[in-house]
Structure 1
Amino acid sequence: MLNNWVRYLPELLLVVDEAHHATAKTYRKLIKAVKDEMKSQGHENGFKMLGLTATPFRTDESEKGLLKLVFPGDIIYSEHLRNLINKGILAEPVFENLETKIAINKKLTARDIKNIEDFDKLPKDIAEEIAKSHERNGIIVSHYLKNSEKYKPLLIFAIDIITCNFIEQIVERQRR
């Protein structure tokens, strides 16, 4: 990309979708490489970057301030989630508890519970254990397929590609 594209551009707008991930080492490395290439060509003033995210505010203390390091221009436009739902841009989330009776083999700390209640995140090891439970995923997919008229189209957030592919296989198997 740097040799075939960036090197010949006097101006560049780098758009980073899901910009809250830009704090990851891989993103920072790519952004730095593009900036360095623009600078080496004498076009450092021609480099601009735009980050797009629905979650610019992190609740995990260890992540606060990281986006500011990657995007020093800060937030230039913000739209409240409720307004996007009211405008029909985002769907109204429907939260439903489905008892799977699958035991998780780790005790949650008070901070873990607070993070879950704030819709922040599960501890990584717990999230992986839950997401990779074939039995749990099968129960959830079965419930969805039996009630698909009620739920209409559904978007599933999986922890990784392997889990996503597994869920897809369950859906295909159960639809037959």
Structure 2
Amino acid sequence: MAEIPSTPSDGNVATWLVPAIADPSAPTVAELTAAGVVDVSCYLTPDGFALTVDQATITDERLCSTETFGKPGRKTYGLNLTGIDNTNSDDEDDANELVDTLVEGAAQYLVRRRGIAFDTTAAATQKVTVIPFQPGVKQDVPPEANSVIRSTWACFVTGPVHVEVPVVAGA
């Protein structure tokens, strides 16, 4: 078997908090680069983006069979974010955008792009995952030796999650 190449994850994941997207199944370059979009790629810790999905099973039983079959059922997404928190530090005023933007209950979109350098501007045809959500209450991460101050947010997915949809060029 031929060796299969791989893409490093370090530095190749971008995460943006976007205030508005007209069609989450087709986000535009203009929406992902608009004023008000916050790039939180460098605030999140390596394990600080946790999107989970559970899928129920639709039971498909038949009178003529001794087996129970299944079909894919409803999906339930969960989202937890963990990142740098510069509250009360010298950096609070100019380096605390994650905390400032994740206001409890504020409706927004989290857009995640993988496989391209995080600081590359969003462009048409790039694939992104779009998650409509509302952050919950900010919770402190207990301090640890040789670490930085972090906070975590349980987030509530408020609509359909669109996985790896292409960015479109339109306005």
TM tier, smaller: under 0.3
**Does 1 or 2 have the higher relative contact order (CA < 8 Å, sep 6+)?**
2
Higher strand share: 2
Higher helix share: 1
TM-score (norm 1): 0.24
